[in-house]
Each structure stands twice: as structure tokens, then as C-alpha cells.
Amino acid sequence: MDGLLIRSIEENLPLEMIYLAENHELSQRKLIVKEVTDDYIRAYCFTRKQMRTFKRENILSILPGTPTKSRYLH
């Protein structure tokens, strides 16, 4: 998973994530990772349209998503 998170940072690659929230609800998020620590990731969440912090232990699944137009605007 670390390689995919780092790739998202380096290439501005969107990821699709299944996440278990603190209230035990599942959500599917599309995001671009900005920072990775041992316990958390900080990412721009397209669902909430803002920066969010996610606990790594609550990430159930993560995989490359479909590219967004902003990825190509450099």
C-alpha cells in the first residue's frame, strides 16, 4: 500500500478507497494523497472537496482510480 500512496503524491494520481469511519460506516472515497505518516494519510478528498485526514488502520481497500483533468494541468 505504501508504494501506491507515494505514487499518488509523486504523480498526482487519484486513488479509490473504501474506508471505515469512526462511526463504523463504510464510505467510498476518491482522493489524491498529499502526506503519509505511520498512522495517517492526508489527502484531498473529491467526495468532501477538501483536505481530510484518514487513519491508515481504517483503510479497507485502496487502488488506482481514474485520472482527473487536474492531473494533466501542470
pLDDT in tens, 30-53: 999 999 999 999 999 999 999 999
- Grid coordinates in use for 38? 505511520
pTM of the model: 0.81
With beta carbons less than 8 A apart as the criterion, state whether 37 and 22 touch: no
Instruction: Give strand pairing partners of 1.
Output: none
1 — pLDDT class (breaks 50, 70, 90) = confident
Predicted local distance difference test score (pLDDT) of residue 67? 59
Predicted local distance difference test score (pLDDT) of residue 74? 42
Predicted local distance difference test score (pLDDT) of residue 2? 87
Mean pLDDT for the stretch of residues 48-59: 96
9-19 in b/e form (b: 16+ CB < 10 A) is: beebbbbebeb
